[in-house]
Chain A
Amino acid sequence: MAHDDTRIGAGFADPVFQSQGAFRALLAALSEPGLARDLGHAVDAPPGLAQATAVALLTLADYETPIWLPAALRDGPAGAWLRFHCAAALVDDPARAAFAVIDGAAPEPQLASFNAGDDQFPDRSTTVLVQCAGLDGGETVTLAGPGIPGRRTIAPAGLRAGFWAEVAGNAALYPLGVDLLLIHGAEVLGLPRSTQILETR
């Protein structure tokens, strides 16, 4: 179905159970970094948002959580969809965002431009949803840290040059730093700040 700017697609049909199921997948994704989880196809995602992005934001965002979107999405149907369903404020300043959606291939914004929390409240950092071209087929990245027995490798595709150096720089800020959710289609892969990037090739 063709989208037009005036039509806002449906959110959860059954908010209580669909958000519960999506939350458990997100909890599993962040507690076992590097393992892809399926968030399902519960919503009619607007253009520019992947299924998993739309489901995750519908599950977690509300009037307490400002969202940062790339300008093209913010001013389009995706912005309208999030305003309507989540009642979330859409902010211009990445450092003010509780959640942010970025295109993994775009050169801007850098992960460092989001809120990394402060030393007394590291929980106030931004959670960045990185939409990428695939969760496999890219360069192989070796991970270690909490949630990973030994080591784990992932190979997300379609990420900008230097992305993994940014992620390693973010992990070096621990316990500060942003938490990442790599997203493709309905799948999500968690990369919290506690995950170390051991090797990229």
Chain B
Amino acid sequence: MTLHQSITEDTKPAYNYAYLDEQTKRMIRRALLKAVAVPGYQVPFGSREMPLARGWGTGGIQVTAAIIGPDDTLKVIDQGADDTTNAVSIRRFFERTADARTTEATEEATIIQTRHRIPEAPLKAGQIMVYQVPQPEPLRKLEPHEAETRKMHAWAEYGLMQVKLYENIARFGEVTTTYDYPVMVNGRYVMAPSPIPKFDNPKMQMSPALQLFGAGREKRIYAVPPHTSVRSLDFEDHPFRIQSWNEPCALCAAADSYLDEVVIDDQGARMFVCSDSHHCETRRAEGHRGAMLADASALHLVEDEAKP
């Protein structure tokens, strides 16, 4: 590069690689290593201002920025979908600031940043999940004071959480928490798995992938190493159960994936479709056809790859 380079259209803005400065990355990296050493414990970190509002995934973005390198392939999902606003803008952020290679295919990704879902395709060793976390403290709704919740974690005083789940069962006959369902990590810390549906909780148990959690507004980082026990809290006579549906995905006929309910007209008609868009597309490409695929394809809402 010469000093006399003229400023042209394709000159990139002078950000450091992956946006954060190196001192910030070191601070986050140190927090990540301690988080991995104490699975489920929330490590405080100096969360930075990011070029998007807090609550839009700044914690996850800072974690991804601290770990990403030229060898990585990044996938970003929002509620399971690769093509929603948050996912698209975060993917573009890393394409611009880190020249990141991006993908929608779960099996090709080395880093998967996610809001509110774990992909349906099984995760592999060497992959890193980065969760965007709005509220890292599972006890916060029960105890508003940080000084108190910190003591509760320090002394493993989790009776209050058990009482909350018990009261749920006493009033409604079952635990009514359906997302952000609390888990016990490595038999020691109660952890918020971020607002993933409880359907995804069993995927965290002994996962071969490393799972990192970033809460930007709340300034906390925590982690679950591969092959770590992650048990959803329950009672012997009321074991933990995941959601199930009466019908399969209307587009790809998957009976074992997490389904979103979509209202399709003003008469109350609805359809259930996979929330994991890449999983649904993969299945359709393999020839799986749901009951409403032909209709959706006729309206050009999805591509029907089996059609000539």
Specify which chain B residues have a CB less than 8 angstroms from the CB of A32 in the assembled complex: 225-226
A26 within 8 A of B: yes
Asked if A17 and B38 make an inter-chain contact with CB atoms under 8 angstroms apart, the answer reads no
The answer, among A24, A30, A127, A147, for a CB contact under 8 Å with B69, is A24
The answer, among A27, A145, A146, A175, for a CB contact under 8 Å with B33, is A27
Distance between A183 CB and nearest chain B CB, rounded to angstroms: 15
Residue of B nearest to A23 (CB): B29
Asked if A20 and B36 make an inter-chain contact with CB atoms under 8 angstroms apart, the answer reads no
CA distance A61 to B44 in the complex (A): 17
The answer, among A19, A21, A23, A194, for a CB contact under 8 Å with B186, is A194
B210 within 8 A of A: yes
CA distance A179 to B155 in the complex (A): 21
Asked if B34 and A179 make an inter-chain contact with CB atoms under 8 angstroms apart, the answer reads yes
Specify which chain B residues have a CB less than 8 angstroms from the CB of A122 in the assembled complex: 34, 38, 41
Distance between A89 CB and nearest chain B CB, rounded to angstroms: 15
Specify which chain A residues have a CB less than 8 angstroms from the CB of B186 in the assembled complex: 145-146, 194
Name B20-79 residues within 8 Å CB distance of A: 22-23, 25-27, 29-39, 41, 43-44, 66-70
Asked if B225 and A147 make an inter-chain contact with CB atoms under 8 angstroms apart, the answer reads yes
Specify which chain A residues have a CB less than 8 angstroms from the CB of B150 in the assembled complex: 120
Interface size on A, residues (CB 8 A): 39
The answer, among B29, B31, B34, B227, for a CB contact under 8 Å with A146, is B227
Asked if B228 and A147 make an inter-chain contact with CB atoms under 8 angstroms apart, the answer reads yes
B189 within 8 A of A: yes
Contact string against B for A residues 23-54, beta-carbon threshold 8 Å, 1 for contact and 0 otherwise: 11011101110000000000000000000000
A62 within 8 A of B: yes
Interface size on B, residues (CB 8 A): 44
B188 within 8 A of A: yes
Contact string against A for B residues 63-98, beta-carbon threshold 8 Å, 1 for contact and 0 otherwise: 000111110000000000000000000000000000
CA distance A194 to B37 in the complex (A): 6
Whether A17 contacts B29 in the complex (CB less than 8 A), given A120-B154, A149-B227, comes out as no
B8 within 8 A of A: no
Name A152-178 residues within 8 Å CB distance of B: 174-175
Specify which chain A residues have a CB less than 8 angstroms from the CB of B41 in the assembled complex: 122-123, 175
A65 within 8 A of B: yes
Specify which chain A residues have a CB less than 8 angstroms from the CB of B141 in the assembled complex: none
Asked if B17 and A16 make an inter-chain contact with CB atoms under 8 angstroms apart, the answer reads yes
Q: Which of B26, B150, B226 has the most CB of A within 10 A?
A: B26
Asked if B70 and A17 make an inter-chain contact with CB atoms under 8 angstroms apart, the answer reads yes
Contact string against B for A residues 61-87, beta-carbon threshold 8 Å, 1 for contact and 0 otherwise: 110110000000000000000000000
CA distance A25 to B188 in the complex (A): 26
Q: Which of A20, A98, A194 has the most CB of B within 10 A?
A: A20
Whether A16 contacts B16 in the complex (CB less than 8 A), given A24-B69, A27-B32, A119-B154, comes out as yes
Specify which chain B residues have a CB less than 8 angstroms from the CB of A184 in the assembled complex: none
Specify which chain A residues have a CB less than 8 angstroms from the CB of B33 in the assembled complex: 26-27, 30, 60, 127, 179
Other 17 A-B pairs with CB < 8 A, given A27-B210, A148-B227:
A17-B17, A23-B66, A27-B29, A30-B36, A31-B225, A62-B26, A64-B27, A119-B154, A120-B151, A146-B186, A146-B224, A146-B225, A146-B228, A147-B225, A174-B38, A174-B188, A179-B33
Binding site for A on B (CB under 8 A): 16-17, 22-23, 25-27, 29-39, 41, 43-44, 66-70, 150-151, 153-155, 186, 188-189, 206, 208, 210, 223-229
